[in-house]
Amino acid sequence: MKTILSFIATSWVLLEVLYTMIERYGLSLIFFDTLLGVLFIIGISMLAKKHLTFNVSNFRKSYKKILIVEDEPLVRELIQNKLKDEKSFRVTHEAKNGKEALSLLKNHKFDMVITDIDMPEMNGIELCKVIKRDYPGIKVLTLTMFNGTDQLKSIINSGASGYLDKEYMDSDIKSAINSVLDGGCYYSRHMLILFKQMLNKADTLNFV
């Protein structure tokens, strides 16, 4: 803004000097009009560039970036379609397994990772542990069709902020993402029931 104001002030002084010279020596006004037009165009261009840069910067900061890690293309497409109209967050990158995800994490900034658990090369539990160790600011939401006591223990111990069952993903995914991004946790309803059952058994309190 200071640069634009400085340009306006300088242009005004230059025009005043030039107009005084034209009046004093009876010079043609054509050069004055041409210079006035050029300065006007330059000024408008500077204002437009400043406004565009400001809007683009705000747009980039206006939504949370999500990385999807899923080996099934159809599931990735389903998530993309479900979230495509969201303004507060969006899927910016995809990976087919944990190793691909780690490569993306080295070169891009994300606010959340939504990862499948059962994947080749590096599964979601292993990926989550690495993220929590190396990228503690990134939220992780796990995604799978499997459910059971051992799996729930692994999810809790991995540091993930929640578990979303693929069976209920279509209706629950937005609520899950918002809960986790807001600093909370999210577990599918039947997983919460399973968790309560675990707590009712003394031998399951020491998670492996």
Three state DSSP letters for 46-107: HHHHHHHHHHHHHHHHCCEEEEEECCCHHHHHHHHHHHCCCCCEEEEEEECCHHHHHHHHHH
How far is the CA of 181 from the CAs of 46, 112, 125, in angstroms? 38, 7, 19
CA distance 126 to 122: 6
Final residue of a domain: which of 45, 60, 75?
60
Looking at the fold, whether 158 and 189 belong to one and the same domain comes out as yes
Give the number of domains in the chain. Answer: 2
- Domain enclosing residue 94, as ranges: 63-204
Residues 95 and 110 in one domain: yes
Verify that 37 and 114 share a domain, yes or no. Answer: no
Q: Are residues 67 and 50 in the same domain?
A: no
Lowest mean pLDDT among 104-113, 120-129, 148-157, 169-178: 148-157
Q: Which of 20-29, 56-65, 72-81, 142-151 is least confident? A: 20-29
30 and 78 within one domain? no
82 and 130, same domain (yes or no): yes
Tell me, yes or no, whether 47 and 74 share the same domain.
Answer: no
pLDDT level of residue 175 (50, 70, 90 thresholds): confident
| Residue at a domain's end among 44, 60, 76 | 60
Would the pLDDT of 23 be above 90?
no
Residues 114 and 39 in one domain: no
Residues 85 and 14 in one domain: no
State the distance between the two ends of the chain, measured CA to CA, in whole angstroms: 58
